[in-house]
């Protein structure tokens, strides 16, 4: 099911609380984030965030390069996004800071959420839900009839988010997250119409 570049580095879901739920605890004055396609020049800042959130099993630069190599052109099978802070001109250091990313692979009608994560100061803002919405839209564009993902069994917050989007548990992968030997819960979402998809407004 997974088409990750390396079977030894599979981090399809972040550690506990790395994916925000439906809380709205964020400061109303906090700058918003703009979602756009991940490009090669984003790899360095994405790696910084990756290493902060996944210090034990962060992806390597080569893994991101390999994924992006399949993200453009007529035979593309990947969709990778970044979330970049949108701030007013002359606002200072935070302008353009990457605060989230996510990726989806599509093979033979099945989508696989490869990774999705947000910076800690963005938890509770709904950014994770926005990234997931875009990746599910990409799955529709790839004509996927189902989307799969793995999530740590102890990441209940992320599981609640995925359940909101129609994902259901279908099994386990024992010792999937290494080091640590943490099991993964495998979840699946079958194709839904746009009217069935959950709204992320107010998250």
Active site residue 80: no
Q: Does residue 27 have a pLDDT over 80?
A: no
Rounded to two decimals, the pTM is 0.79
Residue pLDDT, tens place only, 28-61: 445 689 999 999 999 999 999 999 998 888 999 9
Helix (H, G, I), strand (E, B) or coil at 83: strand
Comparison of pLDDT for 173 and 28, the residue scoring more: 173
Backbone angles phi, psi at 164, to 5 degrees: -60, -30
Q: One of 50, 67, 84, 150 is an active-site residue; which one?
A: 150
| Catalytic residue list contains 150 | yes
Q: Which of 50, 67, 101, 162 is catalytic?
A: 162
**Cβ-based burial of 29 (10 A; exposed 0-12, middle 13-18, buried ≥19):** exposed
């Amino acid at each position: 099911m997974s088409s990750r570049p390396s079977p030894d580095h599979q981090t399809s879901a972040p550690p506990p609380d790395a994916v925000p739920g439906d809380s709205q605890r964020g400061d109303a004055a906090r700058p918003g984030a703009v979602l756009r396609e991940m490009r090669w020049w984003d790899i360095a800042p994405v790696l910084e965030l990756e290493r902060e959130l996944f210090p034990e099993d962060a992806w390597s630069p080569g893994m991101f390069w390999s994924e992006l190599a399949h993200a453009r052109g007529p035979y593309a099978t990947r969709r990778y996004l970044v979330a970049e802070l949108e701030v007013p001109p002359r606002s200072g250091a935070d302008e353009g800071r990457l605060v989230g990313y996510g990726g989806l692979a599509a093979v033979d009608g099945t989508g696989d959420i490869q990774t999705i994560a947000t910076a800690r100061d963005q938890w509770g803002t709904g950014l994770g839900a926005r990234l997931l919405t875009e990746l599910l839209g990409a799955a529709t564009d790839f004509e996927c009839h189902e989307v799969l993902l793995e999530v740590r069994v102890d990441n209940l917050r992320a599981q609640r988010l995925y359940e909101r989007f129609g994902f259901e548990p279908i099994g386990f992968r024992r010792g999937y997250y290494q080091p640590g030997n943490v099991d993964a819960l495998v979840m699946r979402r079958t194709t839904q119409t746009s009217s069935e998809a959950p709204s992320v407004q107010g998250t």
